[in-house]
């Protein structure tokens, strides 16, 4: 065994998981703040640890920004009563949050979040089948939700679970189909190689814009975000699949949803927007120095956060789709479009060769 590899992998895993959790916590805050701004409100601006009132200018500013709100939210989730309703199927009830959180976290493993720092590649697992791995893991996410809906032994969570299984399975197909043109163009499944190709030829969004649109819409559906948030439609299903959950188990579903958002933002950046590259200042080549490596990580984070903001922003733009409209859009619009897209790309590549 190569001890060097193990130690560095563990360090990378720890850092990536920490950063993803941090982004998740603060994207909840971002969600609340952005929704407030869009709705002419102020948003969370009171929470602060007691010593903050002794910090002069910075303290009130951070407090008004709500920087400490996620800490309070996390603490609240930890100390709340973890209630198990009578009549739930206990094993599945306990299993469901874990089953939905684990795939969400696992997806991040193959994403290259930077070129390299020193001799270390900035990706946890440099898989040759990165995209296939991602789709395999993402499709497991539905089990957590279905299991939660089933385990709760209650009407509304059950509807949520049923809806989500139908929705996620339908949109997974369009999602998978939408990526095939990318694979045809690049000719490689390794996400690092896809980024390498983009640094030479320009971002893939210019080559396959339709793919990007379908991928984006499908990832909205996959992460259960508005306008496809039927599994947790508050107005119809109380809380959807997590109605019966409380405390940390509920928080885990939340975590899974936002981790999925992080993962699909990262996938969009990697597949269509050049990952950690920028076409100037020599940022499109693997870093030679430490500073460049760090800068490229920040480039990746910035691109990813942009898509997170888009995810949040879109939530306050559209009403929810009706169930039949959702299915119609998935099967009769996006699937044929994705197939046509594959055909067009294949013909184009054939004509060029």
Of 300 and 334, CB closest to another protein: 334
Distance of closest approach, residue 262 Cβ to another protein, in angstroms: 22
Contact criterion met (CB below 8 Å) for 177 and 141: no
Nearer to another protein (CB atom), residue 41 or residue 76: 41
Peptide bond into 227 cis (omega under 30): yes
Q: Following DSSP, what letter does each residue of 151-215 receive, concatenated?
A: HTTSHHHHHHHHHHHHHHHHHHHHHHHHHHHHHHHH----HHHHHHHHHHH--HHHH-HHHHHHH
Contacts of another protein in 35-64 (CB under 8 A): 36-42, 45
Nearer to another protein, 35 or 139 (CB): 35
In the complex, minimum distance from the CB of residue 34 to another protein, in angstroms, rounded to a whole number? 7
- Asked if residue 108 lies in contact with residue 266, where contact means CB atoms within 8 angstroms, the answer is yes
* Segment interacting with another protein (CB under 8 A) among 23-31, 72-80, 203-211, 310-318: 310-318
Least separation in angstroms between CB 44 and another protein: 11
Length reported for the chain: 353
Contacts of 302 (CB under 8 A, 6+ apart): none
What is the rounded CA–CA span in Å between residue 126 and residue 107? 13
**CB of residue 36 vs another protein: minimum separation in angstroms?**
8
317 counts as binding another protein under rule CB under 8 A: yes
In angstroms, the CA 266 to CA 307 distance is 8
Size of the residue set binding another protein (CB under 8 A): 13
Judged by CB under 8 A, the residue of 94, 316, 323, 348 near another protein is 316
- Among positions 186-245, residues that touch another protein (CB under 8 A) are none
Q: Does 68 bind another protein (CB under 8 A)?
A: no
Q: Are 182 and 204 in contact (CB under 8 A)?
A: yes
Closer by beta carbon to another protein, 34 or else 294: 34
Interacting residue ranges for another protein, rule: CB under 8 A: 34, 36-42, 45, 313, 316-318
């Amino acid at each position: 065994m190569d001890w060097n590899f193990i130690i560095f992998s563990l360090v990378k895993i720890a850092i990536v998981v920490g950063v993803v959790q941090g982004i998740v916590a603060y994207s909840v805050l971002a969600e609340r703040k952005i929704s407030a701004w869009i709705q002419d409100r102020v948003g969370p601006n009171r929470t602060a640890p007691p010593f903050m009132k002794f910090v002069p200018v910075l303290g009130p500013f951070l407090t008004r920004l709500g920087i400490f709100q996620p800490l309070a939210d996390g603490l609240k989730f930890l100390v709340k009563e973890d209630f198990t309703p009578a009549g739930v199927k206990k094993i599945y009830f306990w299993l469901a949050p874990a089953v939905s959180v684990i795939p969400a976290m696992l997806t991040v493993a193959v994403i290259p979040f930077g070129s390299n720092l020193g001799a270390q590649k900035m990706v946890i697992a440099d898989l040759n089948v990165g995209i296939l791995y991602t789709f395999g893991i993402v499709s497991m996410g539905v089990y957590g939700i279905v299991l939660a809906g089933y385990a709760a032994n209650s009407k509304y969570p059950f509807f949520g679970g049923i809806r989500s299984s139908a929705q996620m399975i339908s949109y997974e197909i369009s999602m998978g189909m939408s990526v095939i043109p990318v694979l045809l163009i690049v000719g490689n499944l390794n996400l690092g190689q896809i980024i390498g190709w983009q640094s030479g030829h320009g971002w893939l969004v210019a080559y396959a814009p339709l793919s990007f649109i379908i991928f984006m819409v499908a990832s909205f559906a996959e992460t259960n975000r508005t306008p496809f948030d039927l599994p947790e439609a508050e107005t119809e299903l109380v809380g959807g699949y997590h109605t019966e959950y409380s405390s940390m188990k509920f928080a885990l579903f939340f975590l899974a949803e936002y981790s999925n958002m992080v993962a699909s933002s990262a996938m969009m950046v990697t597949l269509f927007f050049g990952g950690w590259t920028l076409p100037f200042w020599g940022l499109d080549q693997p870093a030679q120095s430490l500073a460049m490596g760090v800068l490229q990580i920040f480039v990746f984070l910035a691109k990813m956060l942009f898509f997170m903001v888009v995810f949040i922003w879109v939530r306050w733009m559209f009403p929810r789709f009706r169930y039949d409209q959702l299915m119609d859009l998935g099967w009769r619009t996006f699937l044929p479009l994705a197939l046509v897209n594959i055909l067009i790309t294949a013909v184009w590549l054939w004509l060029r060769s």
